[in-house]
Structure 1
Amino acid sequence: MKFDMHTHHVRCGHANGTIEDYIIAGMEAGLQAIGISDHSPYFYHEQDQPSPGIAMARSDFANYIEEVLRLKRKYDGKIEVLLGMESDFYPEHADVYRKAYAGIPFDYLIGSVHQVGGVSIFNRNRWKGLDEKRHIEAKEAYYDLIKQSARSGMFNILGHIDAMKGYYPAFSDIPAAAAIDDTLRTIGECGVSIEINTSGSTKAVGGWYPSDAILERALHFGVNVTFGSDAHIPGRVGDEFELVRERLKEIGFKQWVFYRKRTQIVVPL
């Protein structure tokens, strides 16, 4: 079975194409299931859309849900359309997000840490002038937030768990093995999955999230994995699915998962 759990569309302000464009692209790519998972609004913010180029307006959230559910019905029998969302995770605002998601028939939620210390993880300037100690502290803070997101109980999938390397490849070499292991151990204990996200190939790092080394440790700790292209253009839907599947087999995984009605569905590799 071929699936892609991580796609975006024009509502977030930095992706191209409608939701239907991604669904059609999924069918053309031979998917049996496609997850629609645009960026969550900033539910905690007093403004309706404080960052139009990053996330949808809070007032558009209901329209997003309605559109995905309508397209789920329209394409029933052709491709399974799954209602998801890539949700920001801020520990101090977790209850606000939890309340916003209550009662909505999500198939799954992706929890992604996009900021550490109030600065985007993709901001390459955050590393300028930092000594080794502060590099390590930043990396450990990132993994602590991911660990907290696993414990929150809000998410089925954790998104791009080493994406801080996206525009700063040296991130991978910052020593923090104990923090990563502690986070993966927690993810395994909480029964949350991580995604293999192929959008890293579009960034400076030029490779998937997470690294093979992290995937090997994830297998050790019994962490389940899923697939997400993190497509921001329809042409990337399902990108490198087969390559990822073969690499997972080489690492030693026997299965991966997707989600329907917040229930984990196991798919043999």
Structure 2
Amino acid sequence: MKFDLHTHHFRCGHADGNIRDYIEAGIKEGLSVIGISDHTPYFGSPEEQPFPKIAMAKQELSNYVEEVLQLKREYEGKIDVLLGIESDFFPEHAEIYRQTLAKYPFDYVIGSVHSVGNVSIFNKNRWKKLNEKQRIADKEAYYALIRESARSGMFQILGHIDAMKGNYPAFSDIPAAEAIDETLKVIAEEGVAIEINTSGKTKLSGGWYPSDSILERALHFGVEVTFGSDAHVPSRVADELELVAARLKEIGFTEWVYYKNKTKQSVPL
């Protein structure tokens, strides 16, 4: 069976199409399961929508949930529509995120680190004028946040765990093998899955998140994997799903997982 757990829509301010468009695209691609997982509102500010091009307004969250659940009922028997969401992880705001998201019947929550040191991981300028020691420190800080997110108990899935390479491909060459291994150990211990996310092709790095080398280490440590296109346009739903499945088999994985009612469902590759 085929699934895609990571899709967005217009509410986040930087994706095209409505939720129905993504569901219809999933049916066209032969998916059995599609997860809708738009970005959470930004709860770290009292403003209604401090970042309108990044995250939905707070008042839209209940509308989002209601719409997904309505479409889930409408499409029953055609495709299994799952209520997901992608949540930023800010340690200083974790409790407000935890408390707010607990009010809704999410099938799963994707935890993604998008900011390190209050600077976007995709900001190319963050690397300018940094020496090697400072670049290593930034990479290690990124993985420290991912470890903390895994330990938080807030997430079933961790999103794009090497996405900091997105607009800075040289990120992959910054030495931090110990930090990555420690992160994968923690993820395995906490029973959280990581996604293979094919949206890296839309950034300067190209390719997928995470790299094959990280996936090989993930298999070694017993980390479970899932799939997410991270589609911001309906045409990218299930993008490269079959290629990812084939590569995972080559690496040595035999199954991947998705979550329904926050309960793991295992699917043979």
User: TM-score normalised to the size of structure 1?
Assistant: 0.99
Counterpart of 1:52 in 2: which secondary structure? Answer: coil
Q: Which residue of 1 aligns with 2:84?
A: 84
1:43-192 equivalences under 5 Å are: 43-192=43-192
Gaps of 5+ in 1: none
Deviation at 1:102, TM superposition (A): 1.4
CA-to-partner distance for each residue in 1:4-31, whole Å, 9 max, x for gaps? 0000000000000000000000000110
CA-to-partner distance for each residue in 1:75-102, whole Å, 9 max, x for gaps? 0000000000000000111100011011
Q: Which residue of 2 aligns with 1:205?
A: 205
Counterpart of 1:111 in 2: which secondary structure? Answer: strand
Deviation at 1:103, TM superposition (A): 3.0
Q: Which residue of 1 aligns with 2:193?
A: 193
How big is the alpha-carbon RMSD for the aligned residues of Structure 1 and Structure 2?
A: 0.4
Deviation at 1:44, TM superposition (A): 2.1
Distance of 2:54 and 2:106 partners within structure 1:
21
Distance of 2:118 and 2:59 partners within structure 1:
24
Range that drifts further, 42-51 or 244-253: 42-51
Counterpart of 2:59 in 1: which secondary structure? Answer: helix
Counterpart of 1:84 in 2: which secondary structure? Answer: strand
Gaps of 5+ in 2: none
Q: 1:79 is matched by which residue type in structure 2? A: I
Q: Which residue of 1 aligns with 2:3?
A: 3
Counterpart of 2:194 in 1: which secondary structure? Answer: strand
Counterpart of 1:137 in 2: which secondary structure? Answer: helix
Deviation at 1:202, TM superposition (A): 1.2
CA-to-partner distance for each residue in 1:113-146, whole Å, 9 max, x for gaps? 0000000000000000000000000000000000
Distance of 1:237 and 1:173 partners within structure 2:
30
Counterpart of 1:109 in 2: which secondary structure? Answer: strand
Pairing 1:261–2:227 present? no
| Count of residue correspondences | 269
Q: Which residue of 2 aligns with 1:42?
A: 42
Q: Which residue of 1 aligns with 2:31?
A: 31
Q: Which residue of 2 aligns with 1:22?
A: 22
Q: 1:92 is matched by which residue type in structure 2? A: E
Q: Percent identity?
A: 70
Counterpart of 1:207 in 2: which secondary structure? Answer: coil
Q: 1:233 is matched by which residue type in structure 2? A: V
Counterpart of 1:34 in 2: which secondary structure? Answer: strand
Counterpart of 1:265 in 2: which secondary structure? Answer: strand
Distance of 1:57 and 1:103 partners within structure 2:
17
Q: 2:57 is matched by which residue type in structure 1? A: A
Distance of 1:102 and 1:244 partners within structure 2:
32
CA-to-partner distance for each residue in 1:221-265, whole Å, 9 max, x for gaps? 100000000000000000000000000000000110001000000
Deviation at 1:43, TM superposition (A): 1.3
Distance of 2:228 and 2:32 partners within structure 1:
14
Q: 1:130 is matched by which residue type in structure 2? A: L
Counterpart of 1:42 in 2: which secondary structure? Answer: coil
User: TM-score normalised to the size of structure 2?
Assistant: 0.99
Q: 1:235 is matched by which residue type in structure 2? A: S
Counterpart of 1:264 in 2: which secondary structure? Answer: strand
